[in-house]
Protein backbone atom coordinates (compact mmCIF):
# COMPACT_ATOMS: atom_id res chain seq x y z
CA UNK A 1 0.00 0.00 0.00
CA UNK A 2 1.49 3.34 -1.04
CA UNK A 3 1.78 6.10 1.54
CA UNK A 4 0.16 9.45 0.87
CA UNK A 5 3.50 11.11 0.09
CA UNK A 6 4.55 8.26 -2.24
CA UNK A 7 1.23 8.50 -4.07
CA UNK A 8 1.77 12.26 -4.45
CA UNK A 9 5.25 11.63 -5.87
CA UNK A 10 3.97 9.06 -8.36
CA UNK A 11 1.19 11.39 -9.49
CA UNK A 12 3.71 14.19 -9.96
CA UNK A 13 5.95 11.89 -12.03
CA UNK A 14 3.00 10.93 -14.23
CA UNK A 15 2.12 14.61 -14.79
CA UNK A 16 5.70 15.49 -15.76
CA UNK A 17 6.04 12.47 -18.05
CA UNK A 18 2.82 13.50 -19.78
CA UNK A 19 4.27 16.95 -20.43
CA UNK A 20 7.54 15.53 -21.76
CA UNK A 21 5.77 13.05 -24.03
CA UNK A 22 3.33 15.66 -25.37
CA UNK A 23 6.09 17.49 -27.29
CA UNK A 24 6.41 20.15 -24.58
CA UNK A 25 8.44 22.91 -26.22
CA UNK A 26 9.36 25.29 -23.39
CA UNK A 27 12.36 23.57 -21.82
CA UNK A 28 12.93 26.24 -19.19
CA UNK A 29 9.34 26.12 -17.89
CA UNK A 30 9.24 22.33 -17.91
CA UNK A 31 12.56 21.89 -16.10
CA UNK A 32 11.55 24.59 -13.61
CA UNK A 33 8.40 22.59 -12.89
CA UNK A 34 10.44 19.43 -12.43
CA UNK A 35 12.82 21.18 -10.03
CA UNK A 36 9.94 22.78 -8.14
CA UNK A 37 8.27 19.37 -7.76
CA UNK A 38 11.49 17.80 -6.45
CA UNK A 39 11.98 20.68 -4.01
CA UNK A 40 8.42 20.45 -2.74
CA UNK A 41 8.19 16.66 -2.48
CA UNK A 42 11.57 16.32 -0.77
CA UNK A 43 10.54 19.12 1.60
CA UNK A 44 13.58 21.38 1.34
CA UNK A 45 14.13 25.15 1.38
CA UNK A 46 15.84 25.78 -1.94
CA UNK A 47 17.24 24.10 -5.01
CA UNK A 48 19.18 24.72 -8.19
CA UNK A 49 19.83 23.15 -11.56
CA UNK A 50 23.27 23.64 -13.04
CA UNK A 51 24.15 22.82 -16.64
CA UNK A 52 27.60 21.86 -17.82
CA UNK A 53 29.59 24.02 -20.22
CA UNK A 54 32.26 21.54 -21.30
CA UNK A 55 34.23 24.04 -23.36
CA UNK A 56 34.58 26.45 -20.42
CA UNK A 57 35.02 23.63 -17.91
CA UNK A 58 32.37 25.01 -15.56
CA UNK A 59 28.75 24.75 -14.44
CA UNK A 60 26.29 27.64 -14.67
CA UNK A 61 23.01 28.06 -12.81
CA UNK A 62 20.21 27.55 -15.33
CA UNK A 63 17.46 27.57 -12.65
CA UNK A 64 17.49 28.48 -8.97
CA UNK A 65 14.53 28.33 -6.58
CA UNK A 66 14.35 29.79 -3.10
CA UNK A 67 14.95 33.07 -1.29
CA UNK A 68 18.37 33.66 -2.91
CA UNK A 69 17.48 32.51 -6.42
CA UNK A 70 18.39 35.81 -8.11
CA UNK A 71 21.73 36.21 -6.33
CA UNK A 72 22.98 32.68 -6.90
CA UNK A 73 22.46 32.81 -10.68
CA UNK A 74 25.34 35.30 -10.93
CA UNK A 75 27.86 32.56 -10.13
CA UNK A 76 29.52 29.76 -12.06
CA UNK A 77 31.23 26.70 -10.57
CA UNK A 78 34.49 25.27 -11.91
CA UNK A 79 34.56 21.48 -12.32
CA UNK A 80 37.42 21.17 -9.86
CA UNK A 81 35.52 22.96 -7.08
CA UNK A 82 32.32 22.58 -5.09
CA UNK A 83 30.02 19.65 -4.50
CA UNK A 84 28.41 20.14 -7.91
CA UNK A 85 31.84 19.90 -9.55
CA UNK A 86 32.55 16.70 -7.61
CA UNK A 87 29.24 15.17 -8.75
CA UNK A 88 30.07 15.91 -12.42
CA UNK A 89 33.63 14.60 -12.19
CA UNK A 90 32.51 11.35 -10.54
CA UNK A 91 29.08 11.16 -12.24
CA UNK A 92 27.75 10.13 -8.86
CA UNK A 93 24.98 11.28 -6.51
CA UNK A 94 25.71 12.35 -2.95
CA UNK A 95 23.93 13.13 0.36
CA UNK A 96 25.70 15.52 2.72
CA UNK A 97 24.01 16.16 6.06
CA UNK A 98 26.91 18.14 7.51
CA UNK A 99 27.79 20.57 4.73
CA UNK A 100 29.68 23.01 6.94
CA UNK A 101 32.43 20.46 7.63
CA UNK A 102 32.51 18.95 4.14
CA UNK A 103 35.74 19.94 2.36
CA UNK A 104 34.08 19.74 -1.06
CA UNK A 105 31.59 22.51 -0.31
CA UNK A 106 32.18 25.87 -2.03
CA UNK A 107 31.71 28.11 1.00
CA UNK A 108 32.45 31.34 -0.91
CA UNK A 109 29.07 31.38 -2.70
CA UNK A 110 27.16 30.72 0.54
CA UNK A 111 29.01 33.57 2.26
CA UNK A 112 28.54 36.06 -0.59
CA UNK A 113 24.79 35.50 -0.81
CA UNK A 114 24.46 35.16 2.98
CA UNK A 115 22.73 31.78 2.83
CA UNK A 116 24.06 29.17 5.29
CA UNK A 117 23.84 25.59 4.05
CA UNK A 118 23.42 22.76 6.56
CA UNK A 119 22.27 19.82 4.44
CA UNK A 120 22.48 19.10 0.73
CA UNK A 121 21.66 16.46 -1.79
CA UNK A 122 23.12 16.54 -5.32
CA UNK A 123 22.59 14.19 -8.25
CA UNK A 124 23.92 14.13 -11.81
CA UNK A 125 21.60 14.68 -14.78
CA UNK A 126 22.53 11.93 -17.23
CA UNK A 127 21.90 11.31 -20.90
CA UNK A 128 23.14 7.83 -21.90
CA UNK A 129 25.31 7.76 -18.76
CA UNK A 130 26.88 11.10 -19.74
CA UNK A 131 26.51 13.88 -17.17
CA UNK A 132 25.06 17.10 -18.61
CA UNK A 133 24.38 18.90 -15.32
CA UNK A 134 23.53 18.68 -11.63
CA UNK A 135 20.41 19.13 -9.50
CA UNK A 136 21.01 20.28 -5.90
CA UNK A 137 18.45 20.34 -3.07
CA UNK A 138 19.47 22.42 -0.07
CA UNK A 139 18.43 22.43 3.60
CA UNK A 140 15.77 19.86 4.45
CA UNK A 141 13.04 21.68 6.40
CA UNK A 142 12.47 21.42 10.17
CA UNK A 143 16.13 20.49 10.73
CA UNK A 144 15.52 17.09 9.16
CA UNK A 145 18.20 15.09 7.36
CA UNK A 146 18.11 13.82 3.79
CA UNK A 147 17.73 10.05 3.52
CA UNK A 148 18.31 7.45 0.80
CA UNK A 149 14.65 7.50 -0.21
CA UNK A 150 14.96 11.25 -0.95
CA UNK A 151 18.01 10.58 -3.09
CA UNK A 152 16.29 7.87 -5.12
CA UNK A 153 13.36 10.15 -5.88
CA UNK A 154 15.66 13.02 -6.82
CA UNK A 155 17.56 10.78 -9.25
CA UNK A 156 14.26 10.02 -11.00
CA UNK A 157 13.48 13.73 -11.24
CA UNK A 158 17.02 14.42 -12.55
CA UNK A 159 16.61 11.82 -15.30
CA UNK A 160 13.31 13.43 -16.30
CA UNK A 161 14.94 16.88 -16.39
CA UNK A 162 17.77 15.57 -18.57
CA UNK A 163 15.27 13.93 -20.94
CA UNK A 164 13.23 17.14 -21.17
CA UNK A 165 16.30 19.26 -21.93
CA UNK A 166 17.58 16.91 -24.64
CA UNK A 167 14.13 16.60 -26.25
CA UNK A 168 13.58 20.32 -26.40
CA UNK A 169 17.13 21.04 -27.55
CA UNK A 170 16.51 18.67 -30.47
CA UNK A 171 13.24 20.44 -31.28
CA UNK A 172 14.87 23.87 -31.01
CA UNK A 173 17.79 22.77 -33.19
CA UNK A 174 15.43 21.47 -35.86
CA UNK A 175 13.28 24.61 -35.70
CA UNK A 176 16.38 26.81 -35.90
CA UNK A 177 17.66 24.94 -38.95
CA UNK A 178 14.25 25.24 -40.65
CA UNK A 179 14.11 28.96 -39.86
CA UNK A 180 17.63 29.43 -41.16
CA UNK A 181 16.71 27.66 -44.38
CA UNK A 182 13.66 29.90 -44.74
CA UNK A 183 15.77 32.99 -44.05
CA UNK A 184 18.36 31.77 -46.56
CA UNK A 185 15.63 31.30 -49.16
CA UNK A 186 14.54 34.91 -48.61
CA UNK A 187 18.16 36.04 -48.81
CA UNK A 188 18.68 34.12 -52.04
CA UNK A 189 15.67 35.98 -53.43
CA UNK A 190 17.23 39.25 -52.28
CA UNK A 191 14.99 39.84 -49.26
CA UNK A 192 15.83 40.27 -45.58
CA UNK A 193 14.03 39.01 -42.48
CA UNK A 194 12.09 41.73 -40.67
CA UNK A 195 12.62 41.61 -36.89
CA UNK A 196 10.51 43.99 -34.81
CA UNK A 197 8.74 43.87 -31.45
CA UNK A 198 8.66 47.44 -30.10
CA UNK A 199 5.33 49.32 -30.11
CA UNK A 200 6.79 52.08 -32.29
CA UNK A 201 7.86 49.58 -34.94
CA UNK A 202 4.54 47.76 -34.79
CA UNK A 203 2.92 51.11 -35.56
CA UNK A 204 5.27 51.60 -38.52
CA UNK A 205 4.45 48.16 -39.89
CA UNK A 206 0.73 48.89 -39.61
CA UNK A 207 1.38 52.02 -41.66
CA UNK A 208 3.33 49.94 -44.19
CA UNK A 209 0.31 47.66 -44.55
CA UNK A 210 -1.82 50.66 -45.58
CA UNK A 211 0.88 52.21 -47.78
CA UNK A 212 1.45 48.93 -49.62
CA UNK A 213 -2.08 48.93 -51.02
CA UNK A 214 -1.43 52.13 -53.02
CA UNK A 215 0.84 52.93 -55.96
CA UNK A 216 2.01 56.27 -54.59
CA UNK A 217 5.70 57.11 -54.22
CA UNK A 218 7.18 56.69 -50.74
CA UNK A 219 10.13 58.52 -49.21
CA UNK A 220 11.70 56.48 -46.40
CA UNK A 221 13.76 58.55 -43.97
CA UNK A 222 16.03 57.60 -41.13
CA UNK A 223 19.62 57.31 -39.96
CA UNK A 224 22.08 55.00 -41.67
CA UNK A 225 21.58 51.37 -40.67
CA UNK A 226 18.03 51.61 -39.30
CA UNK A 227 16.58 49.24 -41.90
CA UNK A 228 15.12 51.52 -44.56
CA UNK A 229 15.70 48.91 -47.27
CA UNK A 230 13.84 46.30 -45.21
CA UNK A 231 10.82 48.59 -45.04
CA UNK A 232 10.99 49.10 -48.80
CA UNK A 233 10.97 45.32 -49.18
CA UNK A 234 7.97 45.01 -46.87
CA UNK A 235 6.02 47.61 -48.86
CA UNK A 236 6.69 45.65 -52.05
CA UNK A 237 5.98 42.21 -50.54
CA UNK A 238 2.63 43.39 -49.10
CA UNK A 239 1.56 45.11 -52.33
CA UNK A 240 -0.30 43.87 -55.40
CA UNK A 241 3.06 44.06 -57.20
CA UNK A 242 4.68 41.41 -54.99
CA UNK A 243 4.82 38.82 -57.78
CA UNK A 244 6.72 41.27 -59.98
CA UNK A 245 10.39 42.37 -59.68
CA UNK A 246 11.81 44.37 -56.78
CA UNK A 247 14.82 46.22 -58.18
CA UNK A 248 17.37 48.10 -56.04
CA UNK A 249 19.56 51.03 -57.05
CA UNK A 250 22.14 52.66 -54.78
CA UNK A 251 22.37 56.26 -55.99
CA UNK A 252 25.61 56.87 -54.09
CA UNK A 253 27.48 53.83 -55.39
CA UNK A 254 28.22 55.01 -58.95
CA UNK A 255 29.35 58.24 -60.66
CA UNK A 256 26.67 60.22 -62.52
CA UNK A 257 27.42 58.89 -66.02
CA UNK A 258 27.39 55.23 -65.03
CA UNK A 259 24.39 55.70 -62.73
CA UNK A 260 22.29 57.11 -65.60
CA UNK A 261 23.07 54.04 -67.69
CA UNK A 262 22.40 51.80 -64.68
CA UNK A 263 18.98 53.35 -64.10
CA UNK A 264 17.77 53.91 -67.65
CA UNK A 265 19.97 51.70 -69.82
CA UNK A 266 21.88 52.65 -72.99
CA UNK A 267 22.04 51.82 -76.68
CA UNK A 268 25.00 50.43 -78.57
CA UNK A 269 27.58 53.14 -79.30
CA UNK A 270 26.18 55.62 -76.77
CA UNK A 271 29.65 55.91 -75.20
CA UNK A 272 32.99 54.14 -75.10
CA UNK A 273 32.59 50.43 -74.26
CA UNK A 274 28.84 50.54 -75.01
CA UNK A 275 29.21 47.55 -77.31
CA UNK A 276 25.57 46.45 -77.05
CA UNK A 277 22.16 47.70 -76.02
CA UNK A 278 21.57 47.44 -72.26
CA UNK A 279 18.38 47.40 -70.25
CA UNK A 280 18.29 49.73 -67.25
CA UNK A 281 16.87 49.07 -63.80
CA UNK A 282 13.60 50.84 -64.61
CA UNK A 283 12.97 48.44 -67.48
CA UNK A 284 13.86 45.48 -65.27
CA UNK A 285 11.33 46.66 -62.69
CA UNK A 286 8.42 46.71 -65.16
CA UNK A 287 5.18 45.94 -63.32
CA UNK A 288 7.00 45.89 -59.98
CA UNK A 289 8.85 48.23 -57.66
CA UNK A 290 12.14 50.12 -57.89
CA UNK A 291 13.95 51.13 -54.71
CA UNK A 292 16.26 54.15 -55.00
CA UNK A 293 18.53 54.14 -51.97
CA UNK A 294 20.60 57.20 -50.98
CA UNK A 295 18.35 59.41 -53.15
CA UNK A 296 19.86 62.49 -51.48
CA UNK A 297 23.09 61.83 -53.43
CA UNK A 298 21.38 61.86 -56.83
CA UNK A 299 22.86 64.49 -59.19
CA UNK A 300 20.55 67.31 -60.36
CA UNK A 301 20.46 66.21 -64.06
CA UNK A 302 19.34 62.73 -63.00
CA UNK A 303 16.81 64.26 -60.61
CA UNK A 304 15.17 65.94 -63.62
CA UNK A 305 15.03 62.66 -65.52
CA UNK A 306 13.60 60.85 -62.47
CA UNK A 307 10.94 63.53 -62.08
CA UNK A 308 9.83 62.86 -65.64
CA UNK A 309 9.54 59.14 -64.96
CA UNK A 310 7.32 59.86 -61.95
CA UNK A 311 5.13 62.34 -63.82
CA UNK A 312 4.91 60.81 -67.30
CA UNK A 313 6.05 57.19 -66.74
CA UNK A 314 8.50 57.60 -69.66
CA UNK A 315 12.27 57.96 -70.18
CA UNK A 316 14.94 57.54 -72.86
CA UNK A 317 17.97 55.30 -72.74
CA UNK A 318 21.38 56.96 -72.87
CA UNK A 319 22.14 57.68 -76.54
CA UNK A 320 18.56 57.10 -77.71
CA UNK A 321 15.72 59.46 -78.63
CA UNK A 322 13.03 56.80 -78.33
CA UNK A 323 10.77 57.08 -75.29
CA UNK A 324 10.08 53.99 -73.21
CA UNK A 325 6.95 53.74 -71.08
CA UNK A 326 7.12 51.87 -67.77
CA UNK A 327 4.70 50.84 -65.05
CA UNK A 328 6.84 51.03 -61.95
CA UNK A 329 6.25 52.08 -58.34
CA UNK A 330 9.06 54.22 -56.92
CA UNK A 331 10.31 53.91 -53.34
CA UNK A 332 13.18 56.15 -52.27
CA UNK A 333 15.28 56.39 -49.11
CA UNK A 334 17.87 58.69 -47.61
CA UNK A 335 19.57 59.43 -44.32
CA UNK A 336 19.97 63.10 -45.26
CA UNK A 337 17.80 66.08 -44.39
CA UNK A 338 16.09 66.51 -47.77
CA UNK A 339 14.39 69.74 -46.79
CA UNK A 340 17.81 71.23 -46.04
CA UNK A 341 19.07 70.00 -49.42
CA UNK A 342 16.07 71.64 -51.12
CA UNK A 343 16.75 74.91 -49.29
CA UNK A 344 20.40 74.76 -50.42
CA UNK A 345 19.41 74.14 -54.05
CA UNK A 346 20.95 70.67 -54.06
CA UNK A 347 17.67 68.80 -54.44
CA UNK A 348 14.77 69.75 -56.70
CA UNK A 349 11.76 70.87 -54.67
CA UNK A 350 9.31 69.46 -57.24
CA UNK A 351 10.98 66.03 -57.09
CA UNK A 352 10.94 66.15 -53.30
CA UNK A 353 7.20 66.77 -53.23
CA UNK A 354 6.62 64.02 -55.79
CA UNK A 355 8.63 61.49 -53.75
CA UNK A 356 7.28 62.65 -50.41
CA UNK A 357 3.65 61.72 -51.13
CA UNK A 358 3.84 59.09 -48.37
CA UNK A 359 6.74 59.85 -46.00
CA UNK A 360 7.87 57.05 -43.70
CA UNK A 361 10.33 57.79 -40.89
CA UNK A 362 12.19 54.83 -39.35
CA UNK A 363 13.33 55.59 -35.76
CA UNK A 364 16.89 54.76 -34.69
CA UNK A 365 17.55 51.65 -32.62
CA UNK A 366 18.17 53.67 -29.44
CA UNK A 367 14.52 54.75 -29.50
CA UNK A 368 13.22 51.18 -29.64
CA UNK A 369 15.15 49.10 -27.07
CA UNK A 370 12.54 46.33 -27.12
CA UNK A 371 13.90 45.35 -30.55
CA UNK A 372 17.48 44.90 -29.33
CA UNK A 373 17.04 41.44 -27.70
CA UNK A 374 15.04 40.16 -30.69
CA UNK A 375 17.58 41.41 -33.23
CA UNK A 376 20.53 40.20 -31.17
CA UNK A 377 19.03 36.70 -30.91
CA UNK A 378 18.45 36.62 -34.68
CA UNK A 379 22.01 37.71 -35.44
CA UNK A 380 23.35 35.22 -32.88
CA UNK A 381 21.56 32.36 -34.63
CA UNK A 382 22.97 33.53 -37.94
CA UNK A 383 26.46 33.93 -36.46
CA UNK A 384 26.44 30.44 -34.95
CA UNK A 385 25.60 28.97 -38.35
CA UNK A 386 28.44 30.86 -40.03
CA UNK A 387 31.05 30.14 -37.33
CA UNK A 388 29.82 26.58 -36.64
CA UNK A 389 29.79 27.37 -32.91
CA UNK A 390 27.00 26.99 -30.36
CA UNK A 391 26.01 29.50 -27.67
CA UNK A 392 23.13 29.37 -25.19
CA UNK A 393 22.51 33.09 -25.61
CA UNK A 394 23.71 36.33 -24.02
CA UNK A 395 24.87 36.57 -20.42
CA UNK A 396 22.79 39.06 -18.36
CA UNK A 397 25.68 41.54 -18.24
CA UNK A 398 26.04 41.33 -22.03
CA UNK A 399 22.34 42.03 -22.57
CA UNK A 400 22.49 44.93 -20.08
CA UNK A 401 25.42 46.38 -22.04
CA UNK A 402 23.55 46.12 -25.33
CA UNK A 403 20.47 47.78 -23.86
CA UNK A 404 22.62 50.56 -22.40
CA UNK A 405 24.56 51.27 -25.59
CA UNK A 406 23.36 54.06 -27.92
CA UNK A 407 24.04 52.18 -31.21
CA UNK A 408 25.08 55.11 -33.44
CA UNK A 409 25.40 52.62 -36.33
CA UNK A 410 21.94 51.21 -35.56
CA UNK A 411 21.03 47.67 -36.69
CA UNK A 412 24.05 47.34 -38.96
CA UNK A 413 26.35 48.00 -36.00
CA UNK A 414 24.43 45.54 -33.81
CA UNK A 415 24.77 42.83 -36.45
CA UNK A 416 28.52 43.41 -36.76
CA UNK A 417 28.86 43.41 -32.98
CA UNK A 418 27.10 40.05 -32.55
CA UNK A 419 28.97 38.53 -35.49
CA UNK A 420 32.26 39.58 -33.90
CA UNK A 421 31.16 38.11 -30.54
CA UNK A 422 30.38 34.78 -32.24
CA UNK A 423 33.88 34.68 -33.69
CA UNK A 424 35.76 35.45 -30.46
CA UNK A 425 33.31 34.06 -27.86
CA UNK A 426 34.60 30.96 -26.05
CA UNK A 427 32.03 30.41 -23.29
CA UNK A 428 28.57 28.84 -23.25
CA UNK A 429 27.09 32.35 -23.19
CA UNK A 430 28.14 35.49 -25.05
CA UNK A 431 29.88 37.67 -22.45
CA UNK A 432 29.96 41.47 -22.20
CA UNK A 433 33.66 41.56 -23.10
CA UNK A 434 32.95 39.62 -26.32
CA UNK A 435 30.86 42.54 -27.62
CA UNK A 436 33.64 45.17 -27.50
CA UNK A 437 31.13 47.98 -26.90
CA UNK A 438 32.44 51.42 -26.08
CA UNK A 439 31.92 52.38 -22.46
CA UNK A 440 29.85 55.47 -21.71
CA UNK A 441 30.97 57.92 -19.04
CA UNK A 442 27.90 57.14 -16.94
CA UNK A 443 25.44 54.29 -17.29
CA UNK A 444 22.28 55.37 -19.11
CA UNK A 445 20.00 53.84 -16.52
CA UNK A 446 20.24 52.61 -12.97
CA UNK A 447 20.74 48.89 -12.35
CA UNK A 448 17.32 47.35 -11.84
CA UNK A 449 16.59 45.12 -8.88
CA UNK A 450 15.39 42.25 -11.04
CA UNK A 451 17.67 40.94 -13.77
CA UNK A 452 14.92 39.77 -16.07
CA UNK A 453 14.92 41.25 -19.58
CA UNK A 454 11.51 42.90 -19.31
CA UNK A 455 12.62 44.92 -16.26
CA UNK A 456 15.83 46.02 -18.00
CA UNK A 457 13.97 47.19 -21.11
CA UNK A 458 11.38 49.04 -19.01
CA UNK A 459 14.15 50.79 -17.06
CA UNK A 460 15.87 51.85 -20.27
CA UNK A 461 12.63 53.18 -21.78
CA UNK A 462 11.95 55.24 -18.66
CA UNK A 463 15.48 56.63 -18.70
CA UNK A 464 15.38 57.48 -22.40
CA UNK A 465 12.01 59.24 -22.28
CA UNK A 466 13.11 61.17 -19.17
CA UNK A 467 16.29 62.26 -20.99
CA UNK A 468 14.42 63.48 -24.09
CA UNK A 469 11.88 65.28 -21.89
CA UNK A 470 14.72 67.10 -20.15
CA UNK A 471 16.24 68.06 -23.52
CA UNK A 472 12.92 69.71 -24.44
CA UNK A 473 12.39 71.36 -21.04
CA UNK A 474 9.45 69.08 -20.26
CA UNK A 475 7.53 70.05 -23.42
CA UNK A 476 5.60 66.86 -24.18
CA UNK A 477 4.54 67.92 -27.68
CA UNK A 478 8.15 68.50 -28.77
CA UNK A 479 9.29 65.36 -26.95
CA UNK A 480 6.68 63.28 -28.78
CA UNK A 481 7.91 64.67 -32.10
CA UNK A 482 11.52 63.84 -31.21
CA UNK A 483 10.51 60.30 -30.23
CA UNK A 484 8.32 59.99 -33.34
CA UNK A 485 5.28 58.89 -31.32
CA UNK A 486 1.82 60.32 -30.69
CA UNK A 487 1.45 62.92 -27.94
CA UNK A 488 -1.27 60.80 -26.29
CA UNK A 489 0.98 57.71 -26.34
CA UNK A 490 3.76 59.70 -24.65
CA UNK A 491 1.37 60.75 -21.87
CA UNK A 492 0.40 57.11 -21.40
CA UNK A 493 4.06 56.06 -21.15
CA UNK A 494 4.83 58.83 -18.66
CA UNK A 495 2.07 57.57 -16.42
CA UNK A 496 2.88 53.85 -16.85
CA UNK A 497 6.62 54.30 -16.27
CA UNK A 498 6.15 56.81 -13.42
CA UNK A 499 8.34 59.40 -15.16
CA UNK A 500 8.82 62.73 -13.45
CA UNK A 501 7.93 65.72 -15.61
CA UNK A 502 9.56 68.90 -14.35
Instruction: Tell me the pLDDT band of 453, cut-offs 50, 70 and 90.
Output: low
pLDDT at 413: 94
pLDDT at 239: 94
What pLDDT, in 10s, does the model give residues 105-159? 887 887 888 888 899 999 998 888 889 899 999 999 988 999 998 888 888 888 8
pLDDT at 5: 61
Whether the per-residue pLDDT at 176 is higher than 70: the answer is: no
In Å, the largest CA–CA distance within the chain is 100
Using CB atoms within 10 Å of the CB of residue 130, give its burial: 0 to 12 exposed, 13 to 18 middle, 19+ buried.
Answer: exposed
CATH 3.40.50.300 domain range(s) in the chain: 199-359
What pLDDT, in 10s, does the model give residues 352-386? 999 988 899 999 998 899 999 999 999 998 899 88
What pLDDT, in 10s, does the model give residues 188-208? 445 778 888 898 999 999 999
Pairwise pLDDT comparison (143 vs 12), residue with the higher score: 143
Alpha helices for 217-280 (secondary structure H): 228-237, 256-264
pLDDT at 67: 85
CATH number of 4-171: 3.30.450.40
What 3-state DSSP class applies to 51? strand
What 3-state DSSP class applies to 221? strand
Q: Which CATH superfamily is domain 199-359 in?
A: P-loop containing nucleotide triphosphate hydrolases (3.40.50.300)
Pairwise pLDDT comparison (129 vs 410), residue with the higher score: 410
Round to whole Å and give the CA distance between 164 and 148: 25
What CA dihedral angle connects 360, 365, 366 and 368, to 10 degrees? 70
CATH 3.30.450.40 domain range(s) in the chain: 4-171
Q: What is the pTM of this model?
A: 0.58
CATH 1.10.8.60 domain range(s) in the chain: 366-496
Distance from the first to the final alpha carbon of the chain: 71
Mean pLDDT for the chain overall:
84
| Angle between helices 148-188 and 27-41 in degrees, nearest 10 | 170
CATH fold of the domain at 366-496: Helicase, Ruva Protein; domain 3 (1.10.8)
Amino acid sequence: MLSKIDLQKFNTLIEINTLINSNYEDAHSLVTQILDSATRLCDCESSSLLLLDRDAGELYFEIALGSKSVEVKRFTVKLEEGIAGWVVRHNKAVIINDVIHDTRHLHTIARQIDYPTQTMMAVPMRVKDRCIGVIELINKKNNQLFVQDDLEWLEIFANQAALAIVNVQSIEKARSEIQQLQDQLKTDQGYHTMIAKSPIMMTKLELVERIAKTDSSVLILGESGVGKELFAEQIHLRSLRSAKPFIRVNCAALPEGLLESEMFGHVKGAFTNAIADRRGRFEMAEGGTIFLDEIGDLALPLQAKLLRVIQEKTFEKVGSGTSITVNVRILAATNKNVEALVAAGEFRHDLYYRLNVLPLYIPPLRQRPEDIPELAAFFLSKGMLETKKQFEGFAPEAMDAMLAYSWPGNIRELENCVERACVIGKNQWIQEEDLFLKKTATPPFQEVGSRDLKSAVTAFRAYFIQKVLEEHQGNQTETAKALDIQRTYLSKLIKELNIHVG
